[in-house]
Amino acid sequence: MTLAKRIIPCLDVAGGRVVKGVNFQDLKDAGDPIELAAKYYREGADELTFLDISASVEERNTTLDIVRQTAEEVFIPLTVGGGIRTAEDVNTLLRAGADKVSINTAAILRPELINEISDRFGDQVLVLSVDARRAGTKSGYEVTTHGGRTGTGIDALAWVEEAITRGVGEILLNSMDADGTKAGYDLPMIEDVRAISSVPIIASGGAGSLGDFAPALESGADALLAASVFHFGTLTIGQVKAELSRSGYSVRR
């Protein structure tokens, strides 16, 4: 049986509002997170990802009230990321209504956090967010933190392999080179991560037109994350799913 490919709108939240920019710069207001979440749920989103993009930079926790209110409005898996530093933070978010959590910076600073979360809650709740860009590492990709603003020198493919052995359930692969450009997903990066990943890959960064989605699946993605094209009305989830269905992919209607 072929698993349906998932379409996941991403709500990048800063200061209680959904924002979107190019390479995480020049952020524009895109609306109220709870209203947008409810809209995407009605339109047929398979999941929602909610990233508090200023939480790590400002060294504070994700806005729990928004998580709670969103969970009351939508009945599809909700992934929450931003500012998660401990297994207890995960417990708090799951109790507030999140189904999965996404970690990035804290796991790089202390990789044992992956084991702690996976051992306590199971790998199905844990998504590793990998903000990768081209650099002079062994694989040619480097992991970045703080919304792509800070290089780590860590090889992205080696990090993905280590994280999988420690117990992550999915990889959210965000190409910092493609983010917000609307020039299409980063197909070479998806292919390279697919070659070493035994867990599902959610591709993120670069969706700009209907023709961008199927190639990312062909390159090895299991799910597709997008933000700008949905927030600013370029495309609807229904249009994307219809196009993928025409391309021979199984999608949930």
Active site residue 29: no
Beta-bridge partner residues of 50? 11, 80
Backbone angles phi, psi at 55, to 5 degrees: -65, -45
Question: Which of 46, 131, 212, 222 is an active site residue?
Answer: 131
Enter the tokens of residue 54.
């200023």
Residue 182's Cβ-count burial label (10 Å; 0-12, 13-18, 19+) is middle
Beta-bridge partner residues of 65? none
Q: How far apart are CA 48 and CA 78, in angstroms?
A: 5
Long-range own/partner contacts, residues 137-142 (CB < 8 A, 24 or more apart): 139/192, 140/192, 141/189, 141/192
Active site residue 12: yes
Residues across the chain: 253
Backbone angles phi, psi at 174, to 5 degrees: -110, 115
Enter the tokens of residue 35.
């209203």
Structural contact between residues 218 and 17, judged by C-beta atoms closer than 8 angstroms: no
Question: Which of 12, 46, 89, 186 is an active site residue?
Answer: 12
Q: Looking at the annotation, which residues are catalytic?
A: 12, 131
